Amino acid sequence: MSLISKEVIDEIRTSVDIVDIISSYIPLTQKGKNYFGICPFHDDNNPSMSVSKEKQIYTCFSCGASGNVFKFIMDYENISFVETVKKCADVSGIPLDINVNNKNDFSKNKELYEIYDISTKFYQNNINTSIGKQAKQYLQNRQITDQIIKEFGIGLALKNRKILTQLLINKKYNEKDLIRSGLVISDGANLTDIYYDRIMFPIEDLTGRVVGFSGRLYNGEKNYKYINTKETEIFKKGEILYNYKRAKDSARKKGYVIVMEGFMDVIRAYTIGVDNAIATMGTAVTKNQAMTIKKMSKEVYLCFDGDDAGAKATSSCSDELISIGVNPKIIRLEENLDPDEYIKKYGKEKFLNKIDNPINVMDFKLNYLKKNKDINDSEDLAHYVNQVIKELEKIDDDVLKEITLKKISLESNLDIEFLKERLKQDKNSNNKKEVIKTNKIKKKNKYDKAQENLVYYMLQNKEVIKIYNKKITYIPDEKLRFLAREISLYYKENNDFSLADFMTSITEHKDMYNTLSNVLKLNLNEQYTNEEINDYIDVIKEYNVNYQIKRIKDKMKSITDPIEQAKLAEEIIKIKLDIN
């Protein structure tokens, strides 16, 4: 944040309306003076996010996500603070001359990002030299043009297994960081490159920084055709979506995102103008990835490999998406082809026709669950119907449920009312389990409530901050204590308090921000009385007094000298008199 002054940051924040910005990402409905929408930061099925036009903040009363306009954009688009401020400045027309591509030099993994940046440029340079002619010819034979090679940063690792290692050593990177990067290996005596004689496909994180590679053989060898970077401190497969940075804007404009399995599928799709595709890198989709996909677009299409493994991956991915309220559409390819092979064999128009005519997720599930079952066999039929019922339990779309129930009623000759009742029974059973889980939440005592409520109202009104400054010296809960002190300090430095601007000031303090979000989640009445605030303060003081007395009594137990015991007893009396 030091790249831009606080005054400019605050000016840019106040120049945009949080309601206008958030409504450009998700639909908002006004209820009273606030606006409500489906929270994009958890598997929300009911509008849990409240957006305040007056305070210029948002709060989800379910998952606790909260913040100002900067925080929303940062988390929704997975971009840096500087990029977010620049985006808001562009919207409001405020000139901001800053390079948003500057990376955070204070990152704890600064050296790893630098190593990958140098390695990427080294590989890219190699493929454009005479040494890279054979590799480039291989790519061109696969209909990967020079333009695509440049666009996706494709490079070449040379046959010499020490050349990258030596380059990085010459640039003063130490052995520990080289090995930590996953690009260099040690045999105990020597350091050597992991990748050699392979075409290199860089893998970027959600912010567009290269954090890994997939290296492909190109000389006809069969073993280990691809080698992917091992997981490192900056490369977590469960958080990566290949081509995310390039595809996110296109997905928003087109209204849908296509999820594929491999990066070559994405690159091939890009060559025919399908620039809203991402890939999961061939691994099962994680909850983190599913949430990121959900934020990219309202519509999600799954286009995995056309074989049985691809069907299984499609089913698994669709389950993960359905669990967070997304009913994906499915594109299935014939002849067991993957998207790369399909486009090369049948061309652009036929693949685009596939995109224009996806099937709904339940039609895919019916075909998938029916495979290898004999519907004329009673046992197979019962198993099939029970599986379909379980799948329908996960779906929130009532129309899709009704259509699917009619289809299986016709297939199975079972009465549709019976199927509806069966579905209802399963749903009620699951709801009971959910109630049991909810009842396990720990109850708060009066001391917990007093601390949280006081800090809540400090965030709402500077008058409460003034009362805190006069009457409170110590809040028992450590996290709330640090937050209260930061609020107090912010008020003293600025002689005013804006919650939206305060949120900006603690953006980089993750633990404190989480505490603030949990406090805002309380959603207390906006109106309060001084008597109520004083009650909270009295309860906090009572806790502190009781704690001090307990501490002295514990000390008395370890002392045998009656004079010392008498002195401690006097301390207890004095504490009690002071409180009264």
Angle at 264 between CA 263 and CA 270, to 5 degrees: 90
**88 within domain boundaries:** yes
What's the whole-number average pLDDT of the chain? 88
DSSP per-residue codes, 217-246 = --SS--TTSEEEPPP-SS--GGG--BTHHH
The pair of three-digit structure tokens given for residue 215, joined into one six-digit string? 């290296």
Q: Tokens 């109202």 sit at which residue? A: 457
Same domain, 77 and 181: no
Same domain, 335 and 456: no
Looking at residue 225, which CATH number applies to its domain? 3.90.980.10
Tens-place pLDDT, residues 67-98:
999 999 999 988 888 889 999 999 989 888 77
Looking at residue 439, its pLDDT comes to 47
Same domain, 282 and 337: yes
Same domain, 261 and 346: yes
Total domains present in the chain = 5
Torsion of the alpha carbons at 338, 343, 344 and 348, rounded to the nearest 10: 180
**65 within domain boundaries:** yes
160: left (phi over 0), alpha (psi -120 to 50) or beta: beta
Tens-place pLDDT, residues 430-439:
555 555 444 4
Tens-place pLDDT, residues 451-510:
999 999 999 999 999 999 988 878 889 999 999 999 999 999 999 999 999 999 998 898
Strand partners, 56: none
Domain's final residue, options 398, 415, 438: 438
Same domain, 343 and 286: yes
Closest CA to 201 of 153, 242, 265: 153
Q: Is 63 helix (H, G, I), strand (E, B) or coil?
A: coil
Looking at residue 421, its pLDDT comes to 86
Average pLDDT over residues 410-417: 87
Domain's final residue, options 35, 57, 92: 92
Angle at 50 between CA 48 and CA 51, to 5 degrees: 150
Residue 452 belongs to domain spanning: 446-579
**104 within domain boundaries:** no
CA–CA distance from 534 to each of 94, 452, 469 (Å)?
Answer: 44, 14, 13
Count CB atoms within 10 A of the CB of residue 439.
7
For the whole model, what pTM was predicted? Answer: 0.76
**532 within domain boundaries:** yes
**100 within domain boundaries:** no
| Cβ atoms of residues 305 and 338 within 8 Å | yes
Closest CA to 139 of 201, 52, 212, 213: 201
Query: For the chain, how far is it from start to end, CA to CA, in angstroms?
Result: 47
**211 within domain boundaries:** yes
Query: Please, how many CA atoms are within 13 Å of residue 99, restricted to the half-sphere of its CB?
Result: 4
Same domain, 224 and 119: yes
Same domain, 359 and 376: no
Tens-place pLDDT, residues 117-132:
999 999 999 999 999 9
Judging by beta carbons within 10 Å of its beta carbon (0-12, 13-18, 19+), is residue 45 exposed, middle or buried?
Answer: exposed
Average pLDDT over residues 139-166: 95
Cα(355)–Cα(364) distance, integer angstroms: 15
HEC per residue, 449-498: HHHHHHHHHHHHCHHHHHHHHHHCCCCCCHHHHHHHHHHHHHHHHHCCCC
Same domain, 339 and 360: yes
Same domain, 423 and 357: no
Same domain, 460 and 557: yes
Looking at residue 575, its pLDDT comes to 66
- Statement: residue 381 has pLDDT above 60: yes
The pair of three-digit structure tokens given for residue 252, joined into one six-digit string? 């928003």
Cα(272)–Cα(258) distance, integer angstroms: 14
Looking at residue 107, its pLDDT comes to 63
Cα(147)–Cα(18) distance, integer angstroms: 39
Cα(575)–Cα(111) distance, integer angstroms: 55
Domain's final residue, options 48, 64, 92: 92
Same domain, 131 and 11: no
Same domain, 311 and 359: yes
Say which residues have a Cβ less than 8 Å from residue 556's Cβ, sequence separation at least 6: 565, 568, 569
- Statement: residue 415 has pLDDT above 80: yes
Cα(199)–Cα(140) distance, integer angstroms: 13
Residues in the chain: 580
Looking at residue 14, which CATH number applies to its domain? 3.90.580.10
| Cβ atoms of residues 93 and 41 within 8 Å | no
Longest dimension (CA), the chain: 97
**396 within domain boundaries:** yes
| Cβ atoms of residues 55 and 66 within 8 Å | no
- Statement: residue 109 has pLDDT above 90: no
